[in-house]
Each structure stands twice: as C-alpha cells, then as structure tokens.
C-alpha cells in the first residue's frame, strides 16, 4: 500500500530534481556538460533523472558530484520550491 510517507518521499524527490534543473540552468550548464563532468557519456541518463522518468531519482553520490561541479551546497537541492 502506498502510504503518506511514500507520497512525501516522492514529493521530496520531485523537489530535488526541480532544484537540480533550476540550479544547473542558473549556472549555465547544459545537461550534456553536467553529465560529462559527472562521468557519463551522454545527457540521456541525466535527463531521465531530471524528469523522474520511470520514477528515477538522484542518489547521494550524484548529488554530491553535482554540488561540487556547480559549486553549491548540497543542501540547496533539498530546499522546497516557492
């Protein structure tokens, strides 16, 4: 059964993805540029995570890399959108 905690967790994952996209664009990074700096050969995997295709989401290792590449505190990805 899909409970309230699952709903809240999905909402958090959506916030994280939205913040990654927002911050990536604000820093002038394309999906391809960020993906290659993270060690991926194409932008498709990163793009799938950003839109949460098939319930994909960022893991802590990926968020750490993104925070270092974009030079932002990792906590910024968890802040609710206004």
Q: Tell me: pLDDT of 42 over 70.
A: yes
Is position 51 within any domain? Answer: no
Q: What is the mean pLDDT of residues 35-59?
A: 95
HSE-CB for 28 with a 13 A CA cutoff: 0
Structural domains in the chain (count): 1
Q: Residue 24 in contact with residue 77, Cβ under 8 Å?
A: no
Tell me what the pLDDT averaged over the chain comes to.
95
- Dmax (CA) for the chain in angstroms is 41
pLDDT at 2: 74
Structural domain span for residue 20: 1-28
pTM: 0.93
pLDDT at 1: 60
Is position 5 within any domain? Answer: yes
Is position 19 within any domain? Answer: yes
Is position 2 within any domain? Answer: yes
Is position 10 within any domain? Answer: yes
Is position 22 within any domain? Answer: yes
Q: Tell me: pLDDT of 81 over 90.
A: no
Is position 7 within any domain? Answer: yes
């Amino acid at each position: 059964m899909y409970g309230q905690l699952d709903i809240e967790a999905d909402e958090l994952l959506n916030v994280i993805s939205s913040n990654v996209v927002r911050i990536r664009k604000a820093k002038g990074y394309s999906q391809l540029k960020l993906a290659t700096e993270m060690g991926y050969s194409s932008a498709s995997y990163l793009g799938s995570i950003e839109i949460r295709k098939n319930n994909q989401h960022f893991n802590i290792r990926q968020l750490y890399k993104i925070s270092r590449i974009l030079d932002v505190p990792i906590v910024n990805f968890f802040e609710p959108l206004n």
